Amino acid sequence: MEEKNLMYRNSVIKELYFAKTLSCADLSGKIGKSLPLTAKILAEMIEEGDVVETGYAASTGGRKPVMYSMKPDIMFIVSVAMDQFVTRIIVADMQGNYVTEIERFELHLSKEPQWLYLLGNKIEEVIRKSGIKRDNIAGIGIGMPGFVDAGKGINYSFPDAGEETITGYIAEKTGVPVYIDNDSTIIALAELKFGAARHKKNAMVVNIGWGIGLGLIVNGELFRGHNGFAGEFSHIPLFLNGKLCSCGKTGCLETETSLLIMAEKAKEGLKAGRVSLLQQLPLDSFEEVNENLLFAAVKGDRFAVELLSEAGYNIGRGVAILIHLFNPELVVLSGRGSLAGKIWQAPIQQALNEHCIPRLASNTEIEISEMGYEAELIGAAALVMENYRMVNAKNISFN
């Protein structure tokens, strides 16, 4: 197949993946090609079984346009979402549907020197159990915390891979192309493509997790900074508390706001005799403390709400600084911690009222992600499709 035709098809596949369904006219506008050429490409892809008609769009007064989408099972994506303690892996189709159960396992990145070996084995196991042929897997997308150099496939925060790059090692082990990026950047990508930040030009996505991450969307695109390390929101020096941060400095935003800190405060409060629903829930690990802390807060538990409100206020202080710097139209609260929902909004808004210039704050909306804990899995899959490049009609490769 000639190079131009492949290039057009790549564009069609990407646009249909991110939009789910499009009419020929809409697709023509998105890929910047004429309507007749777009119709020709679609006809070829329908004939080959890659694209399907999905019905008609709602009428706007004229003839209803036919809508098109990717055939769900034409390709699959392995999506890997990692944090400091827990890794989740799923396989998704071209419509974003999970075709395997979420494989969840504990992997303490800072304490396990063989983490890359263990990760590679688990990804290989998930692929093998799925029964999907390697030729039908478009790629593996990985989101993980730390200073990730996406181009080199290296994470400088967890360098125990030796001379291996993360992407190179897993690609060699699985026979599938691999892409990696910082977890907060991945979450911002999910919100940009499918979530609250879709169609927004300037937005910030706050990842509430074991740390407090940040993904920046500037002029409708992810902003990664000079070396790809933009968004280290956790390490703004906001407090004079003398508390040591994971980065080695003291007084960082993370030392008062992360889920890890809230878990510690929850345990301390219960030992001191605080009455709480948490007394009836399993608290054998930080993972359980956090899951149950968020659950208790949603149920209206006073102690849990108090902990989240205190952290939310301090997150709001940090967000006020970002609003002064970037003047975003939207701030999205996403990631694991966003499962607490609207509980975050009041304390964050209070902090903005106190610490942000009103003219700036009044033009910035605060929204809770609807993706929640799934955002990183969705974003890791999106990372694969962002870099997708077909080299012939039935052979997949990558830039």
Residue 47 CA neighbour count, 13 Å, CB half: 7
Return the number of other C-beta atoms located less than 10 Å from residue 361's C-beta: 18
Q: Which of 153, 125, 132, 128 is nearest to 141 (CA)?
A: 153
pLDDT reported for residue 161: 62
pLDDT reported for residue 395: 43
pLDDT (tens digit, 9 = 90+) per residue, 113-148? 899 999 999 999 999 999 999 999 999 999 999 999
- Residues shown for the chain: 399
Range 196-370 classified under CATH 3.30.420.40: yes
DSSP E strand boundaries for the chain:
22-23, 51-56, 66-70, 76-82, 86-93, 103-106, 137-144, 148-149, 154-155, 178-182, 203-208, 212-218, 221-223, 330-334, 365-368, 388-392, 395-398
| Residue 56 phi, psi (nearest 5) | -115, 145
Cα–Cα dist 377/96, whole Å: 10
pLDDT (tens digit, 9 = 90+) per residue, 60-106? 666 788 999 999 999 999 999 999 889 999 999 999 999 999 999 99
Question: Is the pLDDT reported for residue 252 higher than 70?
Answer: yes
Question: Is the pLDDT reported for residue 291 higher than 90?
Answer: no
Give the percent of the chain with pLDDT over 90: 64
- Mean of per-residue pLDDT scores for the chain: 89
pLDDT reported for residue 28: 93
Is 294 in a helix, a strand, or coil?
helix
Q: Which pair of structure tokens corresponds to residue 174?
A: 């699985």
Where does the chain hold its CATH 3.30.420.40 domain(s)?
Answer: 74-186+377-398, 196-370
pLDDT reported for residue 60: 62
What DSSP element (H or E) covers 11?
helix 3-19
Return the number of other C-beta atoms located less than 10 Å from residue 197's C-beta: 28
pTM of the model: 0.91
pLDDT (tens digit, 9 = 90+) per residue, 169-222? 999 999 999 999 999 999 999 999 999 999 999 999 999 988 899 999 999 999
pLDDT reported for residue 247: 83
Range 74-186+377-398 classified under CATH 1.20.1730.10: no
Average pLDDT over residues 18-25: 93
pLDDT (tens digit, 9 = 90+) per residue, 302-340? 999 999 999 999 999 999 999 999 999 999 999 989 989
Cα–Cα dist 248/260, whole Å: 16
Residue 89 CA neighbour count, 13 Å, CB half: 20
Tell me the CATH number of domain 3-70, given options 1.10.10.10, 3.40.50.300, 1.10.1040.10, 2.60.120.10: 1.10.10.10
Q: Which residues are registered as beta bridge partners of 80?
A: 89, 142
Question: Is the pLDDT reported for residue 5 higher than 60?
Answer: yes
Cα–Cα dist 385/390, whole Å: 11
Cα–Cα dist 68/396, whole Å: 21
pLDDT reported for residue 110: 86
Q: Which pair of structure tokens corresponds to residue 248?
A: 């080695």
Where does the chain hold its CATH 1.10.10.10 domain(s)?
Answer: 3-70
Q: Which pair of structure tokens corresponds to residue 54?
A: 């999905």
DSSP string, 221-244: EEE--SSS----GGG-B---S-PB
**What does the buried/exposed string (b/e) look like for 367-381 if buried means 16 or more CB atoms within 10 Å of the residue's CB?**
bbbebbbbbbbbbbb
Average pLDDT over residues 337-359: 92
Cα–Cα dist 230/226, whole Å: 8
Q: Which residues contact 281 (CB under 8 A, 6 or more apart)?
A: 288, 292, 295, 296
Q: Which of 384, 382, 380 is nearest to 138 (CA)?
A: 384
Question: Is the pLDDT reported for residue 346 higher than 80?
Answer: yes
Q: Which of 302, 377, 270 is nearest to 334 (CA)?
A: 377
The pLDDT confidence band at residue 159, using thresholds 50, 70 and 90, is confident
pLDDT reported for residue 188: 96
